[in-house]
Amino acid sequence: MPPSIFPDNKTVAVATFWKGGSSNDVNMGEMLEKYGYGGTFVLEAPLSEETAKRLSSLGHDFALEEPTFPQNANLFRHRYSDTFNDISDTWMKIEDVEGSILLLYGDPSELPSDTKQWLDFECIMGYLGGISHVWYGSAAELAAYLEEGK
């Protein structure tokens, strides 16, 4: 059974993971850090040493494959490209349900240099960020925490 209380006695979790290896990885990492999120970058292509150091300095981690979660985790997944309304509808249903997890994921290389998509995603991050009862971690941190059964 997954824990109903996350680290720091938080009752709900928001975690993220991203396909790593694109020129947008640092931009994504900086946005996540700006709003207090952790991110796991799944290495599907090599990262430059500079990119890896920058993402690490922002508190993000790396994995060789997508983190897995227990079958009984109260987990809701959304791609970063889902609409604000879709993500906020899910959030409204789970925000006060102890033990709920919202997992945001995607591929930063799909975000073009078009700032509208980046701004849309930043609105989602700001909307979900900074909530006192929410634990913000990377998907790898969350998977490890649930695996330990704390």
- pTM reported for the whole predicted model: 0.89
Q: State the amino acid at position 11 in one-letter form.
A: T
The domain locations on the chain are 7-148
Per residue in 3-14, is it b (16+ CB within 10 Å) or e — as a string?
eeebeeebbbbb
User: What pLDDT sits at residue 114?
Assistant: 65
**Cβ atoms 2, 72 nearer than 8 A:** yes
pLDDT of residue 71: 85
pLDDT in tens, 53-81: 999 999 999 999 999 998 888 999 999 88
111 vs 89: CA distance, rounded Å = 23
Please say if the pLDDT value at position 112 is more than 80. no
Rounded CA gap, 132 and 129, in Å?
Answer: 9
Q: What is the CATH number of domain 7-148?
A: 3.40.1280
